[in-house]
Amino acid sequence: MKKGLLILMAILSACAPQKETAKADVHLVSANGIGNEIGTVTFTDTDKGLKIDVDLKNLPQGEHGFHIHEHPSCEPAIDKDGTKKAALGAGGHFDPDHTGKHLGPDNHGHKGDLPVLNVADDGTVKTTFYVQNLTAAETKDRSIMIHAGGDNYADTPQPLGGGGARIACGIIE
């Protein structure tokens, strides 16, 4: 009986829908290119929404904008003013519905908005977020971005929540 039960459990486990997962190794970035790895961000589909596990170090203390960007690149690029900028190869915030709105996670703006990262005095952040309206599959082949400043989830007084420069980036696979 035990052997039959074990076989049945193995069959049911194999038939159960697998939760999709995606992961990014995150690196510091500058206009000169991609720097040292500082940790990981993992995305897992759950019944509560997309679970985002963040485990990072060597970041400046304080609040930082945290977004999914449209392209799988952390390379620097030249902006419209001719200035080389960190991780500009990632493009803009992930906005597959072309809302053009920066409204924060779980609202009706672009899907790239994630909760603000709060980095401790020692430069670390280890936290878990859940967001709705986004799946692990949608994050794959994109990038995760950490900005120098916080995020007010509005386009005023500064565009894109005021996060400013891109300081860390990872390609989501």
pLDDT digits (tens, 9 = 90+) for 116-149: 999 999 999 999 999 998 999 999 999 999 999 8
Question: E strand or H helix at 4, and its extent?
Answer: helix 2-15
Is residue 145 exposed (0-12), middle (13-18) or buried (19+ Cβ within 10 Å)?
A: buried
What integer pLDDT is reported at residue 117 of this predicted model? 96
* Residue 161 falls inside a structural domain: yes
In a domain, 83, yes or no: yes
Domain assignment present for residue 122? The answer is yes
Residue 4 belongs to some domain of the structure: no
More confident residue, 162 or 94: 94
Q: In whole angstroms, what is the distance from residue 93 CA to residue 10 CA?
A: 41
- Tens digit of each residue's pLDDT (9 = 90 or more) over 38-60: 999 999 999 999 999 999 999 99
13 in any annotated domain: no
Residue 159 pLDDT class (50, 70, 90 cuts): low
- Give the range of the structural domain holding residue 135, as residue numbers without chain letter: 19-172
pTM of the model: 0.86
What is the count of structural domains for the chain? 1
Q: Please indicate, yes or no, if residue 158 is contained in any of the structural domains.
A: yes
Residue 152 lies inside a defined structural domain of this protein: yes
pLDDT at 6 over 70: no
Average pLDDT, rounded, for the chain: 87
**Tens-place pLDDT, residues 88-124:** 999 998 989 888 877 777 777 788 989 999 999 999 9
Looking at the DSSP bridge assignments, the partners of residue 39 are: 26, 56
Give the CATH number of the domain where residue 54 resides. Answer: 2.60.40.200
* Residue 5 domain-assigned (yes or no): no
* 143 vs 122: CA distance, rounded Å: 25
Task: Supply the pLDDT for residue 157.
Answer: 60
Residue 99 three-state SS: coil
Q: Bridge partners of 130?
A: 51
